[in-house]
Amino acid sequence: KAGVTQTPRYLIKTRGQQVTLSCSPISGHRSVSWYQQTPGQGLQFLFEYFSETQRNKGNFPGRFSGRQFSNSRSEMNVSTLELGDSALYLCASSLEPSGFSYNEQFFGPGTRLTVL
């Protein structure tokens, strides 16, 4: 069974631009969560989608948004990029939403975003 895939793997943008990242979950998984990983802040939860609906959201500004399609694939968008948005963006998929207690999450390889 194929794992979580993320595209692109690397991205370089300049301040003020916007970017869209894509995530394809493991086949049969309906929940997709997004995380930002930086050396200073570690792994921080952005948001979670299940059945095309945002189920949960972390403490990030409105410049960060996402969506999920009927095939469970998800995209996240960052508008008006800032230097501090440089990070590894990770997507994780699971069978059920995080609200289910013992729900294993499986991560993709991430998209490395560099903002110049």
x/- mask, other proteins, residues 37-76, rule CB under 8 A, reads -----xxxx--x------xxxxx-----------------
Q: Which long-range contacts (CB under 8 A, 24 or more apart) does 64-72 make?
A: 66/34, 68/32, 72/24, 72/25, 72/29, 72/30, 72/32
**Structure tokens belonging to residue 53:** 């609906």
Q: Looking at 13-21, 61-69, 76-84, 99-107, which segment touches other proteins (CB under 8 A)?
A: 99-107
User: Considering beta carbons, is residue 103 or 114 the nearer one to other proteins?
Assistant: 103
Say if CB 88 and CB 9 are below 8 A apart.
no
Tell me which residues touch other proteins (CB under 8 A): 4, 33, 42-45, 48, 55-59, 90, 97-99, 101-110
